[in-house]
Amino acid sequence: MTTAAPSRDDKSVNGLLLATLFVSGILMVREGAHFDNVIEGWPFFTGAFFTGTLLGFVCWSFTFGIPPSLKFTGAYRQPWLAALVMGLLTTVSVSYINRTFAAPPDRTITGNIEIVDEGKGDRWHVTVTTPDGRYQRYLITKAVADELKDKRQVRMSIARGALGFDLVSKFEPQK
């Protein structure tokens, strides 16, 4: 038995969703490094991605009347693509909102600097042993990296993010 070829409209919508998925992926790559600075960032990331993915799938299915299915051909591909797009866009949005509208830092912690690492462009990373003994990698600027290169300890200021997730917002060499 052969299946009908996808209609021209289905091909157009699938193409638009793929292009949007590509752009969403680029935005995620740009914003993704900031997840390093969120304290316990993995529940923040997975919660945002899962919520956005579920919302995208359900909204697309109900709006366009496509029944949920495990098929990935033709119009049945659209809810899955919409889910991925919405998951990525939600993750990028909540990360941006959480760090941009964060409260001023209200506490600090001190950690031992293990390594100051150059990343791509103006992105640098510092790996720190936190007081609880875990190794954490944080995103820093080149100016902060220059200050921390020859230091042994760093004082990190922690701010409450706009969505309730704490993040490291400032790095200073420990005197």
Q: Which residues pair with 118 in a beta bridge?
A: 124
Distance between CA atoms of residues 118 and 74, nearest Å: 44
Cβ–Cβ under 8 Å, residues 98 and 161: yes
Lowest mean pLDDT among 1-5, 14-18, 124-128: 1-5
Domains of the chain: 8-100 (no CATH), 107-173 (2.40.50.140)
Look up the pTM and report it.
0.84
Cβ–Cβ under 8 Å, residues 98 and 165: yes
pLDDT-derived band at 167 (thresholds 50, 70, 90) equals: very high
Strands 124-129 and 135-140: antiparallel
Residue 82 confidence (pLDDT) above 70: yes
> What's residue 174's pLDDT?
86
Residue 1 confidence (pLDDT) above 70: no
Please report, in angstroms and rounded to a whole number, the separation of the first and last CA atoms in the chain.
75
Tokens of 43: 């529940």
pLDDT-derived band at 5 (thresholds 50, 70, 90) equals: low
Most confident of 67-76, 119-128, 151-160: 151-160
